[in-house]
Amino acid sequence: MLISQSPMQNHLLAALPAAEFDRLSDQLELVSLHQCEALYESGVRWQHVYFPITCIVSLLYVLESGESAEIAVVGNEGIVGISIFMGGDTTPNRALVQSAGYTCRLRGNLLKEEFDRAGPVLRLLLRHTQALIIQMTQTAVCNRHHSIEQQLCRWLLLSIDRLPTDSLKNDAGINR
């Protein structure tokens, strides 16, 4: 099944008012991502933000030992790279492609400029950041208090919600 790619498949980009989308759209770059590809590493300064279209990205918290734990997933509902517009140069997180697909990449300084206009982009990105914090909180509680089976069900539901199809077959991008 062939799925076309459009920036409007990302819910944040689709929710932007026309004037804001027009300012950014010429700078959006469609990028194909492969499973297990790292978008950024812990402690490294980011240059871009990513608006997933058909891929899913895992946000992992990385310990000093190098071990990591998934703290959130981002798909076509969101953006990867919130520290760029929230004021952080780096983060202890790692972003790893969980499910191959496409994303729109944008230079971080362009999004930061739009964010600093204190208009619709700021409000939209802050709402997304709040939703991401809630997801991280739910993940922490689930990992602490739920059985492995319940955690797997939660992970599957999060993945299905973010895939361009309702299938977890290999052609949908998850290869386990």
89-124 confidence digits (pLDDT tens) = 777 789 999 999 999 999 999 999 999 999 999 999
Report if residue 2 sits inside a domain. Answer: no
How many distinct structural domains can be found in the chain?
1
pLDDT of residue 92: 77
Report if residue 173 sits inside a domain. Answer: no
pLDDT of residue 75: 94
- Compute the distance between CA of residue 75 and CA of residue 152 in angstroms, rounded to an integer: 18
Report if residue 125 sits inside a domain. Answer: yes
pLDDT of residue 16: 95
The ranges of the chain with pLDDT < 50 are 1, 171-176
Q: Rounded to two decimals, what is the model's pTM?
A: 0.86
pLDDT of residue 112: 92
pLDDT of residue 120: 93
Report if residue 1 sits inside a domain. Answer: no
Report if residue 172 sits inside a domain. Answer: no
CA dihedral 91, 94, 97, 102 (to 10 degrees): 20
- The angle that helices 108-116 and 120-145 make with each other, rounded to 10 degrees, is 110
CB 4 within 8 A of CB 15: no
- Give the residue numbers spanning the domain of 123: 7-167
The CATH number linked to 153 is 2.60.120.10
CA dihedral 77, 129, 12, 101 (to 10 degrees): -40
Report if residue 155 sits inside a domain. Answer: yes
**Phi and psi at residue 49, to the nearest 5°:** -110, 160
Report if residue 175 sits inside a domain. Answer: no
- Compute the distance between CA of residue 172 and CA of residue 66 in angstroms, rounded to an integer: 30
Report if residue 174 sits inside a domain. Answer: no
